[in-house]
Amino acid sequence: MNVRDEGNPEPGLLLHLLLRSVLSLHLALALLGCAVANQQPRPANPIPSPRPSASTETNERSSDRIDRSTSEPYSGSLSIFEDPKREDRLQVNRVMDILGIKTGSHVADVGAGSGWFTVRAAKRVGSGGLVYAVEINSEYLKHIDKRSKDENLSNIRTILGKEDDPLLPEKSVDAVLLLKTYHEIGEPVRWLRRMRPAMREGALLGIIDRTGKGDDHGIDRDLVVKEAQRAGFVLVEQHDFVRPDEVDYFLVFHAR
Ligand SMILES: C[S@@+](CC[C@H](N)C(=O)[O-])C[C@H]1O[C@@H](n2cnc3c(N)ncnc32)[C@H](O)[C@@H]1O
C-alpha cells in the first residue's frame, strides 16, 4: 500500500520533480539562445538578391510583343530587286546622304535580299568602311557573298540574323537601313531593342516601307513610329521622295 507522508515525499515523486526541473531549465536556455541569435547584426556582405527570374524576363519580353499581323518573309526570286530604274526612282544616293553614309562609315543593310543596297553602300564607304548584310535567309546570304566576290567588294560581311535579333556586334554601325523589310519582322519592338546596342553614338536608323496593314507587304507609318518609340528610338526626319519606287515613306530615327 502506498502511504504518502506529507513531510517526506516518496523517492519516485522526488525523482519526477527533479527531472521536470532539469527539462524546464534546458527549455529556458534554448529559448534564450534563439532570442540572442535573432539580435545578431546582419552579415557585412548580405547574400545578393536573386537575378531577375525567368518569369520576370518572360514578362519583359511579352510586353514587347506587338498586337498586329506581319508579312511572310519574302523568299522568291531575287531578280525583282534588281530593276535598273530602281536606283533613280528610290534616289538611293539621297537616302545615303540623309543617313550620313560616307567614306569610312560602317553600315548595316538589314533584310538585304539580293544585296542591292549592300553593294551601293559598300562602294560609297570604300575600303576603309564596312557593310554588314543581315538576312534570315541563308540562301540570299550565299548570293551576296558570291556577288561581293564577283564585284570585288572586300568590305562586305554577311550575317545570318535571327528573326528578333540582328546579331550585330556591339557599337559596330554608324547607319542602318531596313529597305522594304520592317513589315516582315515578326517581333519588331524586340528586334529594335536588340539593334540598339549595335548603334554607335549618333548612328541613324532608316526605315523605308510602303503603307499597308502589316500582312500585305506594307505597314502604316504611324505604327512604325510608335513601335520604334517603344523600343527607345526617336523620329528625327521623314521623307516622301521614295514614292516613285512604290514605297511610301522613309523614316529616320536615332537611339534615345
Ligand atoms: C522584301 S525583301 C527586301 C530586300 C531588300 N531590302 C531590297 O529591297 O532590295 C525583305 C527581306 O527581309 C528579310 N527579312 C525578313 N525578316 C527579317 C529579319 N527579322 N531580319 C533580317 N532579315 C529579314 C527577308 O528574308 C527578305 O529577304
Return the CATH number at 205.
Answer: 3.40.50.150
| Average pLDDT of the segment spanning 124-148 | 98
Residue 8 lies in a domain: no
On average, the pLDDT of the chain sits at 84
**Residue 204, domain member (yes or no):** yes
Q: What is residue 63's predicted lDDT score, i.e. its pLDDT? A: 84
pLDDT at residue 154 tops 90: yes
Could you report the per-residue pLDDT of 197-240, keeping only the tens digit for each?
A: 999 999 999 999 999 999 999 999 999 999 999 999 999 999 99
Task: Place 190 in a pLDDT band, splitting at 50, 70 and 90.
Answer: very high
Number of domains comprising the chain: 1
State mean pLDDT over 124-152. Answer: 98
Cβ(163) to ligand 1 under 6 A?
A: yes
Per-state percent for the chain, helix, strand, coil, to nearest 5: 40, 20, 40
CA separation for the pair 158, 144 (Å, rounded): 7
Name the one residue in this structure whose C-alpha cell is 551601293: 120
Q: Give domain status of residue 22, yes or no.
A: no
Pocket probe for ligand 1: among 167, 184, 242, the residue whose CB has the most ligand atoms within 8 Å is 184
In a domain, 220, yes or no: yes
3-class secondary structure per residue, 114-136: CCHHHHHHHHHHCCCCEEEEEEC
Is the residue at 33 inside a domain? no
pLDDT at 189 over 80: yes
Ligand 1 atom nearest to 166, measured from its CA: 20
Q: Which three cell numbers stand for residue 228?
A: 520604334
Q: How far is the CA of 233 from the centre of ligand 1 (A)?
A: 21
Residue located nearest, by CA, to atom 18 of ligand 1: 163
Query: Which range marks the domain in which residue 207 is found?
Result: 71-255
Of ligand 1's listed atoms, the one at least distance from the Cα of 186 is: 19
Q: Does 44 fall in a domain?
A: no
pTM: 0.79
3-state secondary structure of 25: helix
- Three-state DSSP at 3 gives coil
